[in-house]
């Protein structure tokens, strides 16, 4: 089987020694007094050990003719028994065993409202078992307590030993880690407990050469979960933090313990009982129909007594962990078993009652299996793991020590059924046997040391403080002793004197042999230690040599690193100087930048002032120009009106000429106007003709007739005469050469007359290599540029040039011409151009005349004026 990595194999549980003496579980019965003496009772004590259970009338057992049942216990305490008497008979032997180095368990068992908590706690005037146990323990070890923190918990259910100096350091650390908090205001019940009457009993079997420390812990088992009642949890009234449950673990001795539970080291019974009251406030209690303060959980108050022998002088604790003795007394207050029909519990109370009954039933099952295994010799597995309560009690039932139970009985007749089960289980528990604690053997160390050395050391220390002197001189008398001194022999003939002397000599001889054997063992141990020390010395020498070599290598490495460090420091210093220089340069540049910004801000302010002045001037100039333009416009309007009057006169004359028949005949006779059509044109004149002489054969021509000029009848037809401007020169773009049109995106298009006419053009975005070089390369290049002039009109500039081949095989452009196109509105009246009357009728002429007249009234817009600049 392969070993498991990372896990230490557990030690097998120690087998019980053969012929071990066992004692039964001692069960005591205590009857609670009735609240009303007139009530019927079902339990009656017959003697100090026998109690009789009588079924009351009307109960189910009485109907079934059940008879009286008698139960026998270790001792029966009637309702008149005092708390002191109960403690002396039941708990005081357990306290004596605890001081002597033995374990003990005491728990109260019974139904709800049977007096379990009262038996365990009592009242301030008449304390119960728990406060009296604390009083007796501290009364017995009053002068034998160790300094605080000498025994330190190892968190594994054990303790370590520290010297006084280490204990003082540990104590100072605890004081700094846990600052003092103001004590909360005590309740009335707690104030009464402060004034309680302590028990004055003292146990005289305490070893005077040992020192003791008391540790207490308080837990509760609620709904099968373990909670620490002494845990320091910060109380938040707004968001209270729920308590954390604890787990059970097994220590190296196979004993079950609560892992991580708070163990307080207490130095007085008041301090211990204050811790108990603190946990009692946190314990879960509730109001039921049978009890106003019913315990809803099982509480376990553990008292652990740690003791260790003193050294040879009796000054300090012997620094040997193997000499420690750790014993425990557990006081358990079990929650009461109850029936839901009587308590009428619901909700959480019902769930709590179910868990309580389940744990008690598991305890009964464990007791049954234990009894069966011991009485019948079977080897059944005890179901300790069913509940946390039984698993925690495992160390007591299978270990050594004493287990005692107090059965609390309420003799009221209504509790007969529950009391019957409780008493039957209690009587059956007495059949379980528990191994008796074996006496602690005296070690050779304690045999060889002088008895009472602790008392002698304390007396010597007191004398040193009071009278002065050297402590070592007072402790100088022999540390070791062979026994008591020889008895005084008065009569040598007395045989008893000789026997006493012989017995003293035998004791001294045995003690001497024990000391010699102990000395031999110590010598062997010392010799072995010397051998081990020599081996360690040789190994340490080798390790020292190796460490020296490593140290030399490290020294060389450190030197090289120091050299690198010095160079790095030098480099760092240079970089620091550069950083300083750059910072100074930065400050200078920032200063200059601030000056530039200041100058820029001043320039901006001046620009703003100039802009405002220019705007004011512009507004003034615009107003002046507006007035000038208005004046010129008025002059032009007057001039136009004069011209329109003149033109109107001419048009009137022309209208008269056209309307005059004689003038038309004259023009026709001279061959200057069109002739009237004869028969071919008559159908067209039927709707516009008017007979003035009454004859239909003679055609009459008037301006109102719809006649046409007959071009074919004219002997010499007239041709249109072209209108030309001798000062206008045609643009080069009207030729047949190939042009490259460079027009930026977003240019405005105008469908006007004066636009460059380039028949062969190609956009600059669609050029190819053959368009620049080759036979069909472009000869001209035109660049279109549009901008706004000072008057707000759009001005188009056409930069023209010749495309010339370059020496590198490409092409270059030489600009030599600029055409500027401006769009303006005409200021002069529209003049009729001279056109021929060929192909025109009278209606066409009149229409043209009307257009001319309309043009004088409202000149057309969209004309273009152009100028050309030749380089």
| Residues 40-92 pLDDT 10s | 888 999 999 999 988 887 666 666 666 788 999 999 999 999 999 999 999 99
Query: How far does CA 799 lie from the centroid of its chain?
Result: 74
Long-range CB pairs of 66-73 (<8 Å, 24+ gap) are 69/420, 69/423, 70/46, 71/29, 71/423, 71/424, 71/426, 71/427, 72/427, 73/27, 73/28, 73/29, 73/49, 73/407, 73/426, 73/427, 73/430
Average pLDDT over residues 667-677: 47
**Mean pLDDT score of the chain, rounded to an integer?**
76
Would 810 be classed as within a structural domain? yes
465 in the same domain as 420: no
Buried-exposed string 256-280: b where 16+ CB fall within 10 A, e elsewhere: bbbeebbbebbeebbebbbbbbebb
What's the CATH number where 198 sits? 3.40.850.10
Average pLDDT over residues 185-191: 52
pLDDT of 547 strictly over 60 = yes
465 in the same domain as 348: no
Closest to 403 measured CA to CA, from 328, 460, 471: 328
pLDDT of 710 strictly over 70 = no
Structural contact between residues 311 and 209, judged by C-beta atoms closer than 8 angstroms? no
pLDDT of 15 strictly over 90 = no
Provide the pLDDT for residue 789. 76
Q: Which of 25-34, 373-382, 660-669, 713-722 has the lowest mean pLDDT?
A: 713-722
17-31, 381-395, 487-501 — most confident range: 381-395
772 in the same domain as 639: no
pLDDT of 242 strictly over 90 = no
DSSP 441: P
644 in the same domain as 498: yes
Kindly report the number of other CB atoms within 10 A of residue 61's CB atom. 17
pLDDT of 682 strictly over 70 = no
Provide the pLDDT for residue 701. 38
What's the CATH number where 806 sits? 2.60.40.4330
Provide the pLDDT for residue 291. 42
More confident residue, 553 or 811: 553
459 in the same domain as 315: no
Would 725 be classed as within a structural domain? no
Q: Can you name the residues that pair with 212 across neighbouring β-strands?
A: 145, 307
pLDDT of 173 strictly over 90 = no
More confident residue, 704 or 754: 754
Closest to 313 measured CA to CA, from 525, 468, 477: 477
Known binding residue 114? Answer is yes
If you write DSSP's letter for every residue of 633-692 in order, what string do you get? Answer: HHHHHHHHHHHHHHHHHHHHHHHHHHH-HHHHHHHHHTTSSPPPP-STTHHHHTTT---S
Contacts of 300 (CB under 8 A, 6+ apart): 218, 219, 220, 221, 330, 331, 332, 392
655 in the same domain as 620: yes
Known binding residue 110? Answer is yes
More confident residue, 191 or 566: 566
Would 489 be classed as within a structural domain? yes
Provide the pLDDT for residue 831. 47
Average pLDDT over residues 563-587: 93
Which of the four pLDDT bands, split at 50, 70 and 90, describes residue 860? Answer: very low
**Beta-strand relationship, 738-742 and 760-763:** parallel
pLDDT of 386 strictly over 80 = yes
Contacts of 45 (CB under 8 A, 6+ apart): 31, 51, 52, 76, 78
655 in the same domain as 532: yes
Boundary residue ending a domain (613, 632, 659): 659
Boundary residue ending a domain (639, 659, 679): 659
354 in the same domain as 469: no
> 771: domain range?
732-870
Known binding residue 112? Answer is yes
486 in the same domain as 460: no
- Residue % of the chain over a pLDDT of 90: 24
pLDDT of 500 strictly over 60 = yes
Known binding residue 113? Answer is yes
Q: Which of 253-267, 470-484, 576-590 has the lowest mean pLDDT?
A: 470-484
What is the rounded distance in angstroms from the CA atom of residue 408 to the CA atom of residue 449? 48
Provide the pLDDT for residue 132. 94
Would 395 be classed as within a structural domain? yes
Q: Which of 512-516, 573-577, 827-831 has the lowest mean pLDDT?
A: 827-831
More confident residue, 33 or 845: 33
Which of the four pLDDT bands, split at 50, 70 and 90, describes residue 477? Answer: low
pLDDT of 713 strictly over 60 = no
Would 376 be classed as within a structural domain? yes
pTM score of the predicted model: 0.55
Task: Dump pLDDT digits (tens) for 325-349.
Answer: 999 999 999 887 655 444 444 445 5
pLDDT of 448 strictly over 70 = no
Phi, psi of 448 (to 5 degrees): -80, -25
Would 710 be classed as within a structural domain? no
Provide the pLDDT for residue 735. 60
What is the rounded distance in angstroms from the CA atom of residue 495 to the CA atom of residue 503? 12
Structural domain total, the chain: 4
Task: Dump pLDDT digits (tens) for 128-151.
Answer: 999 999 999 999 998 889 989 999
132 in the same domain as 109: yes
Closest to 226 measured CA to CA, from 249, 253, 252: 249
Boundary residue ending a domain (428, 459, 493): 428
Provide the pLDDT for residue 832. 44
pLDDT of 370 strictly over 80 = yes
Provide the pLDDT for residue 9. 46
Average pLDDT over residues 206-218: 90
Average pLDDT over residues 176-199: 62
514 in the same domain as 568: yes
Would 529 be classed as within a structural domain? yes
What is the rounded distance in angstroms from the CA atom of residue 629 to the CA atom of residue 694? 62
Provide the pLDDT for residue 272. 92
221 in the same domain as 170: yes
Provide the pLDDT for residue 178. 62
Provide the pLDDT for residue 813. 87
Provide the pLDDT for residue 838. 46
pLDDT of 662 strictly over 60 = no
Would 818 be classed as within a structural domain? yes
- Residue % of the chain over a pLDDT of 70: 70
Task: Dump pLDDT digits (tens) for 778-817.
Answer: 888 888 888 877 777 778 888 888 888 887 778 888 888 8
Provide the pLDDT for residue 534. 92
Average pLDDT over residues 22-27: 90
pLDDT of 8 strictly over 50 = no
């Amino acid at each position: 089987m392969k070993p498991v990595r990372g896990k230490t194999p557990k030690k097998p549980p120690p087998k019980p020694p053969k012929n071990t003496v066992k004692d039964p579980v001692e069960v005591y019965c205590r009857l609670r007094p009735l609240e009303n003496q007139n009530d019927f009772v079902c339990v009656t004590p017959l003697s100090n050990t026998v109690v009789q259970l009588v079924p009351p009338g009307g109960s189910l057992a009485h109907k079934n003719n059940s008879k009286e049942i008698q139960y026998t216990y270790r001792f029966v305490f009637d309702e008149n028994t005092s708390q002191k008497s109960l403690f002396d008979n039941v708990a005081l032997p357990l306290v004596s065993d605890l001081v002597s180095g033995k374990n003990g368990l005491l728990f109260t068992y019974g139904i709800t409202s049977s007096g379990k908590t009262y038996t365990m706690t009592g009242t301030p005037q008449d304390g119960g078992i728990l406060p009296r146990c604390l009083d007796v323990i501290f009364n017995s070890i009053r002068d034998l307590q160790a300094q605080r923190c000498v025994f330190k918990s190892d968190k594994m259910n054990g303790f370590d030993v520290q010297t006084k100096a280490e204990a003082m350091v540990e104590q100072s650390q605890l004081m700094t880690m846990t600052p003092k908090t103001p004590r909360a205001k005590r309740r009335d019940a707690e104030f009464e407990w402060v004034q309680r009457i302590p028990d004055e009993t003292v146990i005289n079997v305490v070893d005077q050469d040992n020192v003791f420390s008391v540790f207490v812990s308080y837990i509760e088992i609620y709904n099968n979960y373990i909670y620490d009642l002494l845990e320091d949890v910060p109380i938040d009234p707004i968001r209270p933090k729920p308590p954390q449950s604890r787990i059970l673990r097994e220590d190296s001795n196979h004993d079950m313990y609560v892992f991580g539970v708070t163990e307080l080291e207490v130095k007085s019974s008041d301090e211990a009982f204050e811790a108990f009251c603190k946990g009692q406030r946190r314990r879960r209690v509730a109001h039921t129909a049978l009890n106003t303060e019913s315990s809803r959980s099982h509480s376990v108050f553990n008292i652990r007594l740690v003791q260790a022998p003193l050294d040879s002088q009796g000054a300090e604790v012997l620094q040997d962990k193997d000499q420690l003795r750790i014993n425990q007394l557990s006081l358990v207050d079990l929650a009461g078993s109850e029936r839901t029909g009587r308590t009428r519990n619901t909700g959480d109370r019902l769930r709590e009652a179910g868990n309580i009954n389940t744990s008690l039933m598991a305890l009964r099952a464990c007791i049954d299996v234990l009894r069966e295994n011991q009485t019948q010799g079977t080897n059944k597995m005890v179901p300790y793991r069913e509940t946390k309560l039984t698993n925690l009690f495992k160390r007591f039932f299978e270990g050594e020590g004493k287990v005692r139970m107090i059965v609390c009985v309420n003799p009221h007749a209504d509790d007969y059924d529950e009391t019957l089960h409780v008493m039957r289980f209690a009587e059956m528990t007495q059949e379980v046997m528990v191994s008796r604690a074996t006496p602690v053997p005296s070690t050779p160390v304690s045999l060889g040391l002088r008895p009472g050395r602790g008392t002698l050391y304390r007396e010597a220390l007191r004398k040193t403080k009071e009278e002065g002197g050297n402590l070592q001189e007072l402790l100088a008398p022999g540390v070791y002793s062979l026994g008591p001194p020889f008895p005084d022999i008065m009569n040598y003939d007395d045989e008893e004197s000789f026997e006493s002397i012989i017995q003293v000599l035998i004791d001294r001889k045995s003690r001497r042999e024990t000391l010699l054997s102990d000395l031999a063992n110590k010598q062997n141990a010392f010799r072995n230690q010397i051998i081990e020390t020599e081996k360690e010395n040789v190994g340490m020498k080798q390790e020292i040599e190796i460490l020296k070599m490593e140290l030399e290598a490290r020294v060389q490495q450190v030197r090289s690193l120091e050299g690198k460090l010095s160079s790095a420091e030098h480099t760092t210093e240079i970089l620091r100087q550069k950083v300083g220089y750059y910072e100074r340069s930065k400050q200078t540049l920032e200063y200059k930048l601030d000056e530039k910004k200041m100058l820029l801000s001043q320039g901006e302010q001046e620009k703003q002032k100039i802009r405002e002045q220019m705007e004011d001037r512009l507004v003034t100039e615009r107003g002046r120009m507006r007035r000038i333009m208005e004046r010129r416009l008025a002059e032009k309007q007057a001039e136009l009106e004069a011209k329109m009057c003149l033109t109107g006169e001419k048009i009137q004359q022309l209208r008269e000429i056209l309307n005059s028949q004689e003038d038309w005949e004259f023009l026709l006779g001279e061959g200057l106007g069109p002739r009237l059509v004869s028969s071919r044109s008559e159908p067209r004149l039927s709707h516009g003709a008017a007979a003035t002489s009454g004859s239909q054969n003679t055609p009459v021509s008037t301006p109102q007739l719809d006649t046409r000029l007959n071009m074919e009848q004219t002997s010499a037809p007239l041709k249109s005469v072209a209108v030309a401007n001798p000062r206008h020169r045609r643009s080069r773009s009207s030729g047949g050469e190939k042009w490259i049109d460079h027009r930026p995106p977003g240019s405005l298009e105008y469908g006007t007359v004066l636009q460059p006419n380039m028949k062969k053009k190609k956009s600059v975005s669609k050029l190819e290599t053959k368009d620049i070089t080759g036979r069909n390369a472009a000869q001209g290049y035109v660049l279109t540029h549009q901008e706004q002039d000072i008057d707000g009109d759009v001005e188009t500039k056409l930069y023209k040039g010749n495309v010339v081949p370059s020496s590198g095989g490409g092409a270059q452009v030489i600009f030599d011409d600029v055409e500027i196109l401006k769009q303006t509105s005409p200021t002069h009246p529209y003049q009729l151009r001279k056109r021929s009357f060929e192909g025109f009728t009278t209606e066409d002429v009149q229409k043209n005349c009307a257009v001319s007249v309309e043009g004088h009234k409202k000149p057309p817009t969209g004309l273009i004026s152009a100028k050309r600049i030749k380089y």
